[in-house]
Amino acid sequence: MASKIKIPNLPETGNPSVALSKEEITRYSRHLIMPEVGMDGQLKLKQAKVLCIGTGGLGAPLGLYLAAAGVGRIGLVDFDKVDLSNLQRQILFDTNDIGRPKIEAATNRLRNLNPDIQIDNFETRLTSENALDILKDYDIVVDGTDNFPTRYLVNDACVILGKPNVYGSIFRFEGQITIFGYPGGPCYRCLYPEPPPPGLVPSCAEGGVLGVLPGIVGAIQAAETLKLIIGKGEPLVGRLLLFDALAMRFRELKLRKNPECPVCGGHPTITKLIDYEEFCGIRGEESASPAQTSVPEISPRELKTRLDRGDDLFILDVREPHEFQICNLGGHLIPLGELSRRVNELDSSREIVAHCRSGKRSAEAVEFLRSAGFRKVLNLKGGILAWSDEVDASVPKY
């Protein structure tokens, strides 16, 4: 059903005045010899304008495949710099790119891959102020971002501008993929009217991702984008594709347009972009939890001084066992989730310093222990990351 609908701005046939050069014919020959793409489809690709938001895990395979396929104009939006820990999955970058702006490294890589296409770069964070202006020139938007405020921003901007939004998101071994904002189809808010409150999103203990997962999900986004452009096949509209790499299983759920949707429903209440950080209940990604700001703390240097002095301090590590294996301060390991039932392992008469990776989970641990009657409990400020920065650089950061 949905495949018959025309997407605004996308040509129904390739413009014959935009011919392919001899080199381009060779470059795209494996497309050209398939009737589903052919010359007509390849010319459509050449005239298409696609905006990729994010050049990280999802954006990497996406950008590479769109560029390789000959999408004539690709916009990239990112503000980040390449970090060593990105290279496990962000295959647009290599070791020499560490420290470079992602947008610069990505543009370079895509230009080398295909010099015949135009790459536009936007080295900026997508905001309510700039989103409509950046999105307006493109036919299709592909969402490869990594946070709820930007997800809702991209969704609302696409609905307002009437542009399809090829959506993919990942978590550990799982991915979700669909197309939002397709004419007559559902949007992100139809699926999830509201984001989770910050306290309920998985903490760093539960984060992480199998490096190849964004590769698979991003490649599916690329496939859907190319299908939309050439107008062939059945687009992933009204269907939420779930992928589980551990089980190696794809499942499909029905996704319906919500007639009451505040953005794309019959009587929309959101007709312009809003403050998405406020909507998502956060101010910046690293906003401190209430516990983090109110519990008694000790700085890494202070802890080092007191340990060297021989003070009797009990180091409590509230991370997960697999994190303890990466690096540790020789503390007693009780993961935060087990603390309430293992509290009897602790001696309330001793002074306890709790730590985790960054200080957030241990702040919760300190708060819990204080409520359980422990009087002498301190949180190691900044966690093992700060310890590595300020006291012992041989402790690896992860």
Please identify, using beta-carbon distances, which residue of 59 and 75 lies nearer to another protein. 59
DSSP 3-state assignment of 272? Answer: coil
Does position 176 interact with another protein (CB under 8 A)? The reply is yes
**Of the candidate residues 3, 34, 124, 171, the single one contacting another protein (CB under 8 A):** 171
**Of the candidate residues 147, 289, 299, 328, the single one contacting another protein (CB under 8 A):** 147
- Report CA torsion sign: 86, 106, 124, 139: negative
Does position 212 interact with another protein (CB under 8 A)? The reply is no
55: closest CA among 74, 73, 28, 40?
74
Choosing from 158, 190, 280, 356, which is the catalytic residue?
Answer: 356
101 Cβ partners below 8 Å, 6+ apart?
A: 78, 79, 80, 81, 82, 123
Does position 50 interact with another protein (CB under 8 A)? The reply is no
* Cβ 352 to another protein shortest distance, Å: 24
Does position 133 interact with another protein (CB under 8 A)? The reply is no
Please identify, using beta-carbon distances, which residue of 290 and 296 lies nearer to another protein. 290
**Of the candidate residues 47, 114, 121, 145, the single one contacting another protein (CB under 8 A):** 145
- 77 membership: H or E segment, kind and range: strand 73-77
Number of other CB atoms surrounding residue 283 within 10 Å = 11
Q: Per the structure block, which two tokens stand in for 188?
A: 């992100």
**Of the candidate residues 61, 63, 64, 90, the single one contacting another protein (CB under 8 A):** 90
| Cβ–Cβ < 8 Å for 314, 398 | no
Q: Has 204 been annotated as catalytic? A: yes
Does position 183 interact with another protein (CB under 8 A)? The reply is no
Does position 337 interact with another protein (CB under 8 A)? The reply is yes
Does position 196 interact with another protein (CB under 8 A)? The reply is yes
Does position 208 interact with another protein (CB under 8 A)? The reply is yes
Sheet with 73-77, side-by-side order of all strands: 118-122, 73-77, 49-53, 140-143, 165-171, 174-180, 239-244, 249-254
- 158 membership: H or E segment, kind and range: helix 148-161
Does position 255 interact with another protein (CB under 8 A)? The reply is yes
Q: Per the structure block, which two tokens stand in for 66?
A: 């769109």
Please identify, using beta-carbon distances, which residue of 37 and 205 lies nearer to another protein. 205
- Cα–Cα distance, 358 to 370 (Å, whole number): 20
Does position 70 interact with another protein (CB under 8 A)? The reply is no
Torsion of CA 261, 264, 266, 272, to 10 degrees: 100
| Segment contacting another protein by CB under 8 A, of 65-73, 253-261, 372-380, 385-393 | 253-261
- Cα–Cα distance, 355 to 382 (Å, whole number): 8
Q: Please give the distance of CA 194 from its chain centroid, rounded to a whole number.
A: 17
Residue numbers of the site for another protein (CB under 8 A)? 54, 56-59, 86, 89-90, 143-148, 151, 168-174, 176, 191-196, 200-202, 206-209, 211, 213-214, 240, 242, 244, 247, 251-256, 258, 337
| Residues belonging to the active site | 204, 356
